[in-house]
């Protein structure tokens, strides 16, 4: 099988789901490549995954800073709500339309121009060009679902994708959506339960991950260990760092815990004193470290949400944008933690929420139950087998234990 994976040129979209799938598929003897912007080639090489660098496909830095691309794609020109720690709600509808519109069209054209004919295409949820390509070529397409917000936006994205299909000169049907979930079904919003194609377990932590700093081994062993990470994007938005870090540091300082605060290369944004129990680092092996933690304070991006559940760790969520509020609601609904309002939370709110989750056995018990449930899901080896069993052209029949279906 020739398996083509397509992704937006962003590590968080690519490395945590598609890279493990590529590695598993290649180990099973299949030919695999990732089609994305050339800016991701070096990172993919670290994981020994072939990159089909697409000419003319913009990288994320260009999309965020080039005003011509902002106009061409219809991206929002203002992100943050004045005086708030959240973005304009309407912005994410604009992003959905841009991803399903001109951005998808550019990638689809670049892929169709390649001398590389796939048998199956798998995309991460924000990359829709792969589905357009599959529709033109008459082959199967599956979305590896690590962003449930995208599936919830289908009433907006489906008409836009049909328009792009016409732009490609194809007047047939748009390939029917199929999802491969990476958590148990109940961890996704209930609205997606009837449309999911199957559920699989992501392999363990990747190789070539950052090392834990040796000095972090000297933390007090008689106190709970808390990990706080706000992801790769939130602190880069205008004003977010200074607005968030002050109450966060104050709240963490009130805890009788050892706290590791990872800032993704942005530790220079800390302007004031750091409490003695807070240990700041830029990068760390998050998925592996979570297994040693008692609490995870998270922005509730889907990858962080999944890693917390995989480790069986209760969470306190500080969601800001995109799918984060959806995932934070799931944290509460599943009984594995609490959600705070990022616009209004105070240092006391944060410390009190952490104390409640740490002292109540319920969130830990519920997180461990989901951790065990995850272990019952078939692995990516089964996902690869199910992908190989998808018939060509697009008519599907039920597959075996992975249950990938239309």
pLDDT one-digit tens code per residue, 337-381: 999 999 899 999 999 999 999 999 999 999 999 999 999 999 999
In tens, the pLDDT along 240-299 reads: 566 788 899 999 999 999 999 988 766 666 767 899 999 988 878 888 899 999 999 999
pLDDT at 391 exceeding the cut of 80: no
Token duo for residue 248: 């966060």
Q: Are 94 and 13 in a shared domain?
A: yes
- The DSSP output letter for 378 is -
Most confident of 81-95, 179-193, 297-311: 297-311
Residue 363: exposure state from Cβ atoms within 10 A (0-12, 13-18, ≥19): buried
Is the pTM above the cut of 0.85?
yes
Whether residue 197 is found in the same domain as residue 221: no
Does residue 365 belong to any structural domain of this protein?
yes
* Confidence at residue 304, expressed as pLDDT on a 0 to 100 scale: 94
Give the per-residue pLDDT at 38: 95
pLDDT at 137 over 50: yes
Q: Note whether 182 and 249 are same-domain residues.
A: no
Question: Which residues lie below 8 Å from residue 382, measured CB to CB, with a gap of 6+?
Answer: 200, 401, 402
CA dihedral sign of residues 354, 357, 359, 365:
negative
> Is 394 inside a domain boundary?
no
**Does residue 105 form part of some domain?**
yes
Strand bridging mode 278-281 / 295-298: unpaired
Residue 256 sits in a domain of what CATH number? Answer: 3.40.50.2000
- Asked if residue 351 and residue 257 are part of one domain, the reply reads yes
Q: Say whether both 115 and 174 belong to one domain.
A: yes
Residues 294 and 147 occupy one common structural domain? no
Q: Which residues pair with 2 in a beta bridge?
A: 31
Query: For residues 261 and 354, what is the distance between their CA atoms, to the nearest angstrom?
Result: 14
CA distance 268 to 291: 28
Residue with tokens 């339309």: 97
List Cβ neighbours of 9 (8 Å cut-off, separation of 6 or more).
Answer: 36, 37, 39, 40, 57, 58, 59, 60
Tell me which residue of 397, 394, 404, 406 sits closest to 173, measured CA to CA.
394
Residues 130, 178: Cα–Cα separation, whole Å: 13
* Whole-angstrom distance, CA of residue 120 vs CA of residue 124: 14
- The rounded distance, in Å, linking the Cα atoms of 197 and 187 is 15
- 30 and 19 share one domain: yes
Place of tokens 């598993």: 24
Place of tokens 């550019």: 106
Q: Measuring CA to CA, which residue among 148, 153, 159 is closest to residue 90?
A: 153
Residues 351 and 291 in one domain: yes
Same domain, 71 and 178: yes
Range of the domain at 218: 214-374
- Give the pLDDT mean for 126-154: 92
Please check whether residues 258 and 292 belong to one and the same domain: yes
In a 13 Å sphere around the CA of 231, the CA atoms on its Cβ side amount to 27
Maximum C-alpha span of the chain: 65
Decide if 153 is inside a domain: yes
Peptide bond before residue 393 is cis, with ω within 30 degrees of 0: yes
Q: Torsions phi, psi of 183, nearest 5?
A: -140, 165
Q: What are the tens digits of pLDDT across the range 180-211?
A: 999 999 999 888 876 657 999 999 766 666 67
User: How large a percentage of the chain has pLDDT more than 70?
Assistant: 87
Strand ranges across the sheet with 140-145: 51-53, 31-36, 2-6, 120-123, 140-145, 179-181, 196-199
Residue 399 is assigned to a structural domain of this protein = no
Number of structural domains the chain divides into: 2
Confidence at residue 207, expressed as pLDDT on a 0 to 100 scale: 62
CA distance 158 to 175: 10
Please tell me whether residues 39 and 154 are part of one structural domain: yes
Same domain, 22 and 153: yes
Instruction: Return d(Cα 84, Cα 341) in angstroms, integer.
Output: 11
- Give percent of the chain above pLDDT 90: 64
């Amino acid at each position: 099988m020739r398996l083509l994976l397509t992704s937006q040129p962003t590590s968080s979209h690519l490395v945590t789901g598609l890279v493990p799938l590529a590695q598993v598929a290649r180990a099973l003897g299949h030919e695999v490549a990732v089609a994305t912007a050339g800016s991701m080639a070096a990172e993919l090489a670290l994981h020994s995954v072939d990159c089909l660098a697409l000419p003319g496909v913009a990288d994320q830095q260009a999309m965020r800073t080039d005003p011509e691309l902002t106009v061409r794609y219809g991206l929002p020109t203002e992100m943050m709500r004045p005086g708030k720690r959240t973005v304009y709600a309407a912005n994410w509808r604009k992003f959905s339309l841009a991803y399903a519109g001109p951005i998808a069209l550019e990638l689809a054209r670049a892929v169709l121009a390649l001398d590389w004919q796939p048998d199956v295409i798998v995309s991460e949820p924000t990359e829709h060009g792969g589905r357009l390509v599959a529709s033109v070529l008459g082959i199967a397409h599956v979305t590896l679902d690590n962003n449930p917000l995208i599936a919830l936006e289908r009433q907006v994205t489906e008409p836009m994708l049909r328009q792009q299909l016409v732009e490609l000169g194809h007047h047939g049907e748009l390939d029917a959506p199929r999802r491969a979930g990476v958590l148990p079904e109940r961890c996704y919003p209930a609205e997606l339960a009837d449309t999911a194609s199957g559920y699989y377990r992501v392999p363990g932590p990747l190789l070539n991950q950052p090392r834990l700093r040796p000095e972090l081994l000297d933390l007090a062993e008689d106190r709970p260990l808390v990990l706080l990470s706000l992801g790769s994007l939130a602190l880069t938005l205008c004003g977010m760092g200074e607005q968030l870090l002050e109450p966060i540091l104050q709240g963490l300082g009130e805890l009788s815990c050892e706290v590791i605060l990872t800032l993704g290369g942005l530790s220079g944004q800390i302007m004031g004193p750091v409490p003695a129990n807070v240990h700041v680092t830029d990068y760390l092996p998050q998925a592996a470290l979570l297994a040693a933690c008692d609490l995870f304070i998270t922005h509730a991006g889907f990858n962080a949400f999944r890693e917390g559940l995989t480790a069986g760790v209760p969470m306190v969520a500080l969601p800001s944008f995109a799918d984060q509020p959806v995932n934070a609601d799931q944290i509460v609904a599943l009984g594995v933690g609490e959600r705070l309002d990022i616009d209004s939370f105070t240092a006391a709110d944060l410390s009190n929420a952490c104390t409640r989750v740490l002292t109540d056995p319920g969130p830990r018990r519920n997180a461990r139950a989901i951790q065990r449930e995850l272990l019952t899901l078939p692995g990516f080896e089964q996902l690869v087998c199910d992908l190989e069993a998808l018939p060509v052209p697009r008519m599907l029949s039920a597959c075996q234990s992975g249950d990938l279906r239309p």
